[in-house]
């Protein structure tokens, strides 16, 4: 599956940001901010593959110039806490070619933004590190038919009162229309005075005017929370048009998809650099623990599926044999000829002239449990009528199914306990780290084997379909958990040792530098 990422945020003055500076950084260009007089030069920024501006129908062509566009945006937005632009950042699937990535972004912008009246300024970034992505800056105002910026708010008649009697505008109800007063006049809310009467005012040349409640509402729905969900879903749909069925992405979380997968946390550049230096990053350690738990869940699900398949097949087989036994028992004339088909043998009581059915143990040993085979071999069924023996077999199978369910529940509980143990060990590890930092302790080096610690590459294909094999699997997990604790402890001690050694080297360098300074002072005094 390709990686899904789509984040939406606002760029505003309240955060000390500038639309011109943001556009310059994302496009890798040099732009002059007319508001501050500062030139933002990002021409040396690497990884900018391309950038372009896409205009809606009413926008003038002069806005194809990036510096003109965002300087005019900043002139229109005069408030100190004004929203200047909206940014949508999306991860581009690496499975797509460069041409497909560009086509996908353009189609996404046209369907969701420019067709709704927004101006889109977007750039494609790719440093060759496997993380191609696009930054889409959007205007927060639309352009009218006169090529002018529209207002963010509009005034409308309130059409209902809320539970507290306050006038509000409900978009689900009709609004007042002066051209259709007969049908819409009831959707106006009068302005009331202290006596509960509608307020009026005298207008010169127009007489008395009745006052009605008016409120301001957003001119568009771009700031509604539902739009974020709509845009995120649309990005997944546009990418999936180019992706194979087994690579499809989904905008929903694992929980919303109904998947029993624990999501990892964002590590960030700093955490990964710490890991590359050989040190331990808390965020990377948390993600490694999450991956271990997800691996255990995956193996557990596989075991459940195998057990379920085995139980269904076995129950179906036994039921088929039971049905066949009933059929032959009901028709004794066929017993001597056909009973061998279900693993039974028939003998005739020469004195009484009756047929005696004896169930062959091999009839139920193809994939049966060892307990039932043993009982069959002991001859517990030899004196029972055929139908009673078949009923007994079915009852034993149901008992085994119930036992298997109990084993599965116990296995789930043990897995949950191990997850809690992992979280507790991680917390104790952080406490030990803080303790070592406070006392400045030293530690020896025993090595850190990540593959051993987190169970990567381990062979779990030997999982069998019985409760005893599940117990053996859990025992092997316990051994790996113990090795994991030892490895993490040794790695922590190793890191503390490196930190102490680094501090010692720094002190030596400082002393050596001070000694050289003193020697230089002595030489300078001697030369005088």
With respect to residue 80, please indicate whether it lies within any of the assigned structural domains: yes
CA-based R_g, the chain, Å: 38
441 and 485, same structural domain?
Answer: yes
pLDDT number for residue 107: 96
121 and 136, same structural domain?
Answer: yes
467 and 479, same structural domain?
Answer: yes
With respect to residue 269, please indicate whether it lies within any of the assigned structural domains: no
- Least Cα distance to 227 among 235, 216, 217 occurs for 235
210 and 139, same structural domain?
Answer: no
Domain that holds residue 37: 6-149+225-251
The answer to whether 124 and 92 have CB atoms below 8 angstroms apart is yes
pLDDT number for residue 89: 95
118 and 30, same structural domain?
Answer: yes
With respect to residue 195, please indicate whether it lies within any of the assigned structural domains: yes
With respect to residue 281, please indicate whether it lies within any of the assigned structural domains: yes
pLDDT number for residue 472: 61
With respect to residue 365, please indicate whether it lies within any of the assigned structural domains: no
324 and 284, same structural domain?
Answer: yes
With respect to residue 259, please indicate whether it lies within any of the assigned structural domains: no
Query: How many domains in the chain?
Result: 3
| Bridge partners, 513 (sequence order) | none
Q: Return the SS3 of 348.
A: strand
CATH of the domain at 13: 3.30.930.30
498 and 352, same structural domain?
Answer: yes
The answer to whether 367 and 313 have CB atoms below 8 angstroms apart is yes
461 and 422, same structural domain?
Answer: yes
pLDDT number for residue 181: 81
pLDDT digits (tens, 9 = 90+) for 214-271: 888 777 888 888 899 999 999 999 999 999 888 888 888 777 777 777 778 777 778 8
Among 218, 236, 265, residue at a domain's last position: 218
79 and 38, same structural domain?
Answer: yes
pLDDT number for residue 193: 86
With respect to residue 264, please indicate whether it lies within any of the assigned structural domains: no
159 and 177, same structural domain?
Answer: yes
pLDDT number for residue 456: 39
164 and 144, same structural domain?
Answer: no
**Residue ranges for the chain with pLDDT beneath 50:** 334-369, 376-377, 380-384, 441-466
The answer to whether 428 and 287 have CB atoms below 8 angstroms apart is no
pLDDT number for residue 85: 95
Pairing of strands 48-54, 30-33: unpaired
With respect to residue 425, please indicate whether it lies within any of the assigned structural domains: yes
- Least Cα distance to 323 among 400, 391, 379 occurs for 391
pTM: 0.53
437 and 355, same structural domain?
Answer: yes
């Amino acid at each position: 599956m390709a990686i899904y990422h789509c984040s939406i945020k606002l760029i505003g003055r309240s955060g000390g940001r500038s639309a011109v500076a943001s556009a310059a950084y994302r496009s890798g260009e040099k732009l002059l901010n007319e508001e501050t007089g500062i030139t933002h030069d990002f021409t040396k920024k690497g990884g900018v593959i391309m950038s372009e501006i896409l205009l809606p129908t009413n926008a003038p062509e002069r806005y194809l110039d990036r510096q003109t566009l965002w300087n005019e945006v900043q002139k229109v937005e005069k408030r100190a806490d004004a929203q200047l632009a909206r940014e949508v950042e999306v991860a581009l699937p690496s499975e797509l070619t460069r041409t497909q990535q560009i086509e996908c972004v353009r189609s996404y912008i046209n369907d969701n933004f420019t067709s709704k009246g927004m101006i889109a300024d977007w750039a494609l970034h790719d440093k060759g590190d496997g993380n191609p992505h696009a930054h889409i800056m959007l205007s927060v105002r639309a352009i009218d038919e006169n090529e002018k910026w529209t207002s963010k708010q509009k005034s409308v008649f309130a059409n209902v009162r809320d539970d507290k009697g306050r006038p509000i505008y409900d978009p689900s109800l009709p609004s007042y229309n002066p051209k259709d007063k007969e049908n819409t006049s009831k959707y106006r809310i009068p302005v009331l005075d202290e006596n509960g009467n509608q307020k009026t005012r005298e207008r010169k040349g127009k007489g008395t005017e009745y006052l009605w409640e008016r409120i301001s509402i957003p001119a568009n729905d771009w700031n509604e929370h539902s739009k974020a969900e709509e845009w995120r879903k649309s990005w997944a749909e546009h990418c999936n048009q180019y992706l194979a069925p087994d690579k499809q992405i989904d905008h929903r979380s694992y929980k919303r998809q109904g998947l029993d997968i624990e999501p990892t946390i964002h590590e960030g550049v700093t955490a990964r650099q710490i890991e590359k230096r050989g040190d331990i990053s808390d965020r990377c350690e948390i993600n490694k623990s999450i991956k271990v738990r997800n691996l255990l869940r995956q193996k557990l699900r596989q075991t459940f599926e195998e057990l379920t398949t085995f139980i269904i097949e076995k129950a179906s087989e036994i039921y088929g044999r039971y049905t066949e036994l009933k059929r032959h028992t009901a028709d004794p004339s066929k017993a001597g000829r056909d009973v061998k088909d279900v693993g039974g043998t028939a003998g005739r009581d020469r004195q009484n002239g009756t047929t005696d059915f004896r169930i062959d143990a091999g009839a139920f040993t193809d994939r049966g449990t060892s307990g039932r085979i043993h009982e069959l071999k002991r001859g517990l069924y030899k004196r029972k009528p055929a139908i009673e023996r078949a009923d007994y077999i079915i009852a034993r199978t149901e008992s085994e199914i119930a036992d298997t369910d109990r084993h599965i529940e116990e296995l789930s509980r043990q897995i949950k306990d191990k997850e809690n143990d992992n979280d507790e060990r991680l917390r104790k590890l952080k406490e030990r780290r803080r303790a070592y930092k406070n006392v400045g302790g030293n530690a020896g080096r025993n090595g850190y084997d990540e593959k051993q610690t987190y169970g990567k590459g381990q062979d779990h294909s030997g999982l069998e379909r019985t409760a005893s094999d599940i117990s053996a699997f859990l025992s092997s997990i316990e051994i790996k958990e113990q090795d994991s604790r030892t490895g993490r402890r040794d790695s922590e001690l190793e890191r503390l040792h490196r930190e102490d050694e680094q501090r010692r080297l720094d002190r030596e360098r400082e002393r050596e530098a001070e000694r050289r300074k003193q020697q230089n002072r002595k030489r300078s005094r001697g030369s005088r």
